[in-house]
C-alpha cells in the first residue's frame, strides 16, 4: 500500500484514497487493482481513464474495466 501511495505522489496532485486492511495480500490481481483505482478516482472527482492510464494499465484492461462498470449500471 505504501508503494502504491508513493507511486501516486509522483504523478498526482491529490493522493487517491485507497483503503486496504492490514492483512491484505501483497499480490493484488489486476482486475482488483483496476477496480480500486477506478473507485478512488470517482471518489476524488478525477477522470478515471486518465488515472488508470497514469497507473499504466493497458488500453485493453481499461476497456474491460469500463465495460464491467457499464454492465453494473
- CB burial of 25-42 (b: ≥16 within 10 Å; e: otherwise) equals eeeeeeeebbebbbbbbe
Average pLDDT over residues 55-66: 93
pLDDT digits (tens, 9 = 90+) for 8-47: 555 555 566 666 666 666 778 888 889 988 988 988 898 9
pTM above 0.85, yes or no: no
Contact residues for 24 (Cβ-Cβ < 8 A; gap 6+): 1
Separation between Cα atoms, residue 29 and residue 37, nearest integer Å: 13
pLDDT at 30: 86
Amino acid at each position: 500500500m505504501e508503494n502504491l501511495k508513493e507511486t501516486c505522489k509522483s504523478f498526482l496532485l491529490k493522493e487517491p484514497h485507497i483503503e486496504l486492511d492490514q492483512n491484505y495480500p501483497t499480490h493484488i490481481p489486476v482486475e482488483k487493482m483496476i477496480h480500486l483505482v477506478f473507485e478512488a478516482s470517482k471518489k476524488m472527482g478525477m477522470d478515471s481513464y486518465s488515472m488508470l492510464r497514469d497507473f499504466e494499465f493497458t488500453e485493453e484492461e481499461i476497456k474491460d474495466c469500463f465495460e464491467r462498470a457499464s454492465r453494473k449500471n
